[in-house]
Amino acid sequence: MAPHHPEDFRMTPAKPTQAAKSPRRAVAAADRTRQPTEVRRRLIVEAAVPLIAERGYASVGVRDVAAAAGVSVGTVTYHFGSVQEILSEAMVLHIERYYSDLSEAAEQAAGGAEALRLLVDALFTEDTDRHWRMWFQYWNAGASVEGGPTDEAFARGQAERYEAWHRQIRALAERGVADGEFTGDDLDGFTARFAALADGLALQRLRQAPPLSTADARRHLNRLIETELVRRSPE
């Protein structure tokens, strides 16, 4: 059984009162120990997300996260083995939320062509620079640690998330083909080029070297779609 955190328990039993005589519903031991841990871990991770976005992964320490979460440094180190573990979970949380929202928006589209347009629009807005900063910091975090079992797990998680992103792009292209909106005989190639172009444009957008507006970033992605997924002529 995992050790309990001292904050989970009273150190001395409370004296019985009249109100305490009514029976209380028993809670399984597993639930008593697991739920506080999950709640605390989530609180800490949630607090780390804006810190990473504002300061950058390498500039955030345990004390920063503890202060933002309103807990002690000891509580943070009790639940997490390293700063990297906290920050990697925070980045994963942000990235999964972001792409979940994109998926929901695309699912509401009338067809694959509209879904791809909505995807492009959502990738580059005035509010998405924060997302892209988090995305690149996530990849840099994986490259900055030394070898070992934890690194392999981290790299595997990165690969799984990027594969999920590729599947999402490909599914929208497939939808357009199935709906008769596009023709395309190399959807895997299109997917790889779309993802690579989006990453490159995002990096250029963040560095502004050369300057890149959100409108121009969208235009480049839409041009790729038009070039590689040829629209079928109405019969």
Q: What is the separation of C-alpha 130 from the centre of its chain, rounded to a whole number of angstroms?
A: 12
Q: What's the pLDDT tens digit per position in 71-105?
A: 999 999 999 988 878 888 888 888 888 888 878 87
SS3 assignment, position 231: strand
Residue 31 has a pLDDT of 39
**Domain assignments of the chain as residue spans, ordered by start:** 91-231
pTM (two decimals) = 0.72
State the number of CA atoms in the 13 A half-sphere of 152 facing the CB.
2
Q: What's the pLDDT tens digit per position in 141-200?
A: 766 555 444 567 778 888 888 898 999 999 999 999 998 899 888 999 999 999 999 999
Closest CA to 87 of 61, 113, 105: 61
Confidence label for 219 from pLDDT (cuts 50, 70 and 90): very high
Residue 235 has a pLDDT of 53
Assess contact for 134 and 94: CB atoms under 8 A. yes
More confident residue, 61 or 36: 61
- Calculate ∠ Cα 14-15-19, nearest 5°: 100
User: Distance between CA atoms of 190 and 32, rounded to whole angstroms?
Assistant: 49
CATH superfamily of 91-231: Tetracycline Repressor, domain 2 (1.10.357.10)
